[in-house]
Chain A
Amino acid sequence: MPKSIQNLIWIAIGVFGAACLGGIAIHRGETINAFWFIAAAFGIYAVAYRLYAGWICTKVLMTDPSRATPALRINDGRDYVPTHRWITFGHHFAAIAGAGPLVGPTLAAQFGYLPGTLWLLTGAVIGGCVQDMVVLWASTRRDGRTLGQMARDEMGPVAGGAALVGTLMIMVLIVAVLGLVVVNAMKHSPWGTFTVAMTIPIAILVGIYMRNIRPGRVLEGSLIGLFLLLAATAGGGWVAHHPALGPMFDFDGTTLALLVIAYGFFAAIMPVWLLLAPRDYISTFIKIGAILLLAFAVIILRPELHMPALTQFTDGTGPVVAGGLYPFLFITIACGAVSGFHALISAGTTPKLIMSERDLRLVGYGSMAMESFVGMMALIAACVLDPGVFFAINSSAGIVGSTLEQATATISSWGFPVEAQHMMDLAKEMGETTLLARTGGAPSLAVGMAQIFAGAFGQSMLALWYHFAIMFEALFILTAVDAGTRVGRFMLQDLLGNIWKPLGNTSARLPSIICSAAFVASWGYFLYIGVIDPYGGINILWPLFGISNQMLAAIALAIVTTILVKKGQARYAWVTGLPMVFLAVTTSYAAWLKLFDADPRVGFLAGANTLEAKLQAGTLTGKALESAPHLIFNQRLDAGLTVFFIIVLWVVIIEMARISIRHLQGKPVPALTEVPYVNEATLPHPTGVGGH
């Protein structure tokens, strides 16, 4: 096909996508069909992938298919393995996508469907996809060095240290906030708790199968695990209604938090083959299956969205996450638009599989576009719910009141009518006692998915769909808890090893136990406080997590911007510099508000002071009185943590500016550590699909 016709087709796709997006933006009917969102998303991703990512590869990164990648040069058959691009894509996508892109967009649905949609699309194509691809490129040209190593090599020890400590703190917050999501989904839900609890013995069984019975047959093992897990999901309904067994799995939030903390500790010190690895295998299969199901629900069934385009909560009074549209939309949706955490995967594991620099665009940019689409689907599933139902599930008791009548009356008074009877019926249909104040996004996504599926397969399966959705989100999350604790332990040992050598020995028993315990205690603290918080905890933890994740994204973008400048590409530095500046400014502004805003739901210090005033006035009673001192301390600690994140962020950005200016002035800077060019034609080529 001639190039001009090809270009015309791409322009047509782009115009179509933009037209759909425009249609979404100006549409003001009662409902809007999911089709327009899918069409807009596909059009925009396709054009951005083809034109913008293509242009970045040729002009900015100057990718060169003749340049041998580390996988080809080193090719040790273990870490460095030249792999077919679609298989690398699969590995990379499975590594980056988890519960994050499902939770953030669901919470952001409180602003209406429009803000989330616009940010997911533009954030991904201009920010997130670019970050993932450019970091992947930089690491591929450095034999797969990690983000921290690249920061140290290219920018010096100050930026390197800042990136390392910042990453460790993010790990703590990620595990805590995801733990809170899963606790809120299991609270007083025997069915959910039973299913989630069963994932542990099932994973252990599969672990033994994969190691002792049929070593290394991971497909067989995963299939057995999958089957048992589905059986446990279905059996959970029977257990929940059983007079003796049901109450055994009925826990309040505090107990569940302690159970998750104890679980996290034991999972971290157990051998990987026994629990972590088999759980991850099953979780990855379920992940792909769940995303395909979600895609089926959204693309084939094309439900109507009932949420308005914009709600009044853009002014900052929202019950799900406090704070105005700017900056808090951009903090609430991190995964799916821009996620700094991806930089840790793009630098490290994936670069060692890249067979040709030609594949960087598909693996780096393409995987992130796909994750962004998962975020879009989650947003659609949340907006399919009646807004009244959405707010009833996602608003904490501290805001709407703790009884069904109070909650439904408050939400109806906002202009989102919902009846108490309807909420009771809905809970019953889902096999739950209540759906009120199940903050964290997982339950409302589960209800949304269950309703879409029920529309196609009949109402009788509602409860099963609901618990299937809860199960898969919990599965991703517990895998993240295990894996996060393990990585956090390694990072902590790495850091502490500099102070006292024996602590850095990762294969010794005692130091690993001490560091695992310390790491679990850190996230366990935030999880526990989140659970006893009457405002639901998500309101505090999710923005903190968002700030830390966007901070890491800005740091990653600063590192690659420095590399671009040092490579003599300063005129293109805006490609990564622009999203970096946007994220740095937005994150800093959000941090400022989280610190100093006078609204006690937004500002940490105002929140602590308000509670302290209540405590001194003696107006608190019962549980609120008991938890108040902890909550006051926690809000001040959160304020300190926010300051820490902002310092880390600006240290790296100032270093970036300093090094770039020095380089442009011709003064000495840390040398570019890119591995010299080797022509791939001079190396032996791998055979077979995987090339292992």
Chain B
Amino acid sequence: MMAGPASFLKTAWTVLREVSGDAAYENYLARHQERHPDQPALDREAFYLSELDRRWSGVNRCC
């Protein structure tokens, strides 16, 4: 079990991936399998495009 700097870096990496949206697809897949295992999931590209469409339909950036 590594403690200290290693676990700190691991947390930082997780936070970075979550905040930036890098982990969004994996989260979506996990959630999709849990809730609708019978329906086909979107592929990476389709998911990415639909996420962008959702994010950029309202005010999400300020001056």
Q: Which residues of A contact B (CB under 8 A)?
A: 77-79, 83-84, 86-87, 90-91, 94-100, 146, 174, 178, 210-212, 215-219, 222, 272-273, 276-277, 280-281, 284-285, 335, 339, 341-342, 344-345, 348-349, 479-480, 483-484, 486-487, 490, 506, 549, 688-690, 692
Q: How far is the CB of B29 from chain A (nearest CB, A)?
A: 10
Summarize B's interface: helix, strand, loop or mixed. helix
User: Is B48 an interface residue when CB atoms closer than 8 A count as contact?
Assistant: yes
Task: Pick from B21, B57, B60, B61: contact of A218, CB below 8 A.
Answer: B21
Summarize A's interface: helix, strand, loop or mixed. helix
User: Is B9 an interface residue when CB atoms closer than 8 A count as contact?
Assistant: no
Q: How far is the CB of B30 from chain A (nearest CB, A)?
A: 8
A217 proximity list for chain B (CB < 8 A): 22
Task: Pick from B17, B23, B57: contact of A490, CB below 8 A.
Answer: B57
Q: Which residue of B lies closest to A285 (CB)?
A: B20
B63 and A341 form a contact (CB under 8 A): yes
B43 proximity list for chain A (CB < 8 A): 215
Interface residues of B in 16-59 (CB under 8 A from A): 16-25, 27-28, 31-32, 35, 43-45, 47-49, 51-59
Task: Pick from A86, A91, A222, A345: contact of B59, CB below 8 A.
Answer: A345
Q: How far is the CB of A158 from chain B (nearest CB, A)?
A: 22
Q: A215-B45, A218-B20 are in contact. Are A341 and B57 (CB under 8 A)?
A: no
Q: A689-B14, A690-B27 are in contact. Are A348 and B47 (CB under 8 A)?
A: no
Q: How far is the CB of B40 from chain A (nearest CB, A)?
A: 16
A99 to B21 Cα, complex, angstroms: 23
Q: How far is the CB of A288 from chain B (nearest CB, A)?
A: 9
Q: Which residue of B lies closest to A273 (CB)?
A: B52
17 residue pairs of the A-B complex, CB under 8 angstroms, read A91-B19, A98-B61, A146-B58, A178-B63, A211-B49, A215-B44, A217-B22, A219-B22, A272-B52, A272-B53, A273-B48, A276-B56, A277-B55, A341-B62, A341-B63, A690-B18, A692-B31
Q: Which residue of B lies closest to A342 (CB)?
A: B62
B63 and A87 form a contact (CB under 8 A): no
A689 to B57 Cα, complex, angstroms: 26
Task: Pick from A79, A212, A273, A344: contact of B62, CB below 8 A.
Answer: A344
A487 to B20 Cα, complex, angstroms: 22
Q: A77-B28, A146-B58, A212-B45 are in contact. Are A219 and B20 (CB under 8 A)?
A: yes
Q: Which residues of B contact A (CB under 8 A)?
A: 14-25, 27-28, 31-32, 35, 43-45, 47-49, 51-63
Q: Which residue of B lies closest to A173 (CB)?
A: B63
Task: Pick from A77, A99, A218, A342: contact of B22, CB below 8 A.
Answer: A218
Q: How far is the CB of A634 from chain B (nearest CB, A)?
A: 22
A174 and B61 form a contact (CB under 8 A): no
A692 proximity list for chain B (CB < 8 A): 18, 23-24, 27-28, 31
B35 proximity list for chain A (CB < 8 A): 77
Task: Pick from B18, B31, B63: contact of A77, CB below 8 A.
Answer: B31
Q: A215-B48, A219-B17 are in contact. Are A345 and B27 (CB under 8 A)?
A: no
Q: Which residue of A lies closest to B59 (CB)?
A: A344
Task: Pick from B15, B47, B56: contact of A486, CB below 8 A.
Answer: B56
A211 proximity list for chain B (CB < 8 A): 45, 48-49
Q: A86-B15, A216-B47, A219-B16 are in contact. Are A96 and B58 (CB under 8 A)?
A: no
Q: How far is the CB of A86 from chain B (nearest CB, A)?
A: 7
A479 proximity list for chain B (CB < 8 A): 61
A549 proximity list for chain B (CB < 8 A): 63
Q: How far is the CB of B13 from chain A (nearest CB, A)?
A: 10
A690 and B61 form a contact (CB under 8 A): no
A164 to B23 Cα, complex, angstroms: 35
B63 and A280 form a contact (CB under 8 A): no
A77 proximity list for chain B (CB < 8 A): 28, 31-32, 35
A506 to B57 Cα, complex, angstroms: 10
B19 and A90 form a contact (CB under 8 A): yes
B45 proximity list for chain A (CB < 8 A): 211-212, 215-216
A545 to B21 Cα, complex, angstroms: 32
Task: Pick from A78, A210, A689: contact of B48, CB below 8 A.
Answer: A210
Q: A87-B15, A348-B58 are in contact. Are A281 and B52 (CB under 8 A)?
A: no
Q: Which residue of B lies closest to A283 (CB)?
A: B61
Q: How far is the CB of A77 from chain B (nearest CB, A)?
A: 5
A394 to B48 Cα, complex, angstroms: 43
Q: A100-B63, A344-B62 are in contact. List 12 more A-B contacts (CB 8 A).
A: A95-B60, A178-B63, A211-B49, A215-B43, A216-B47, A217-B22, A222-B20, A480-B62, A483-B61, A549-B63, A689-B18, A690-B27
Q: Which residue of B lies closest to A177 (CB)?
A: B63
A349 proximity list for chain B (CB < 8 A): 58-60
B60 proximity list for chain A (CB < 8 A): 95, 345, 348-349, 483
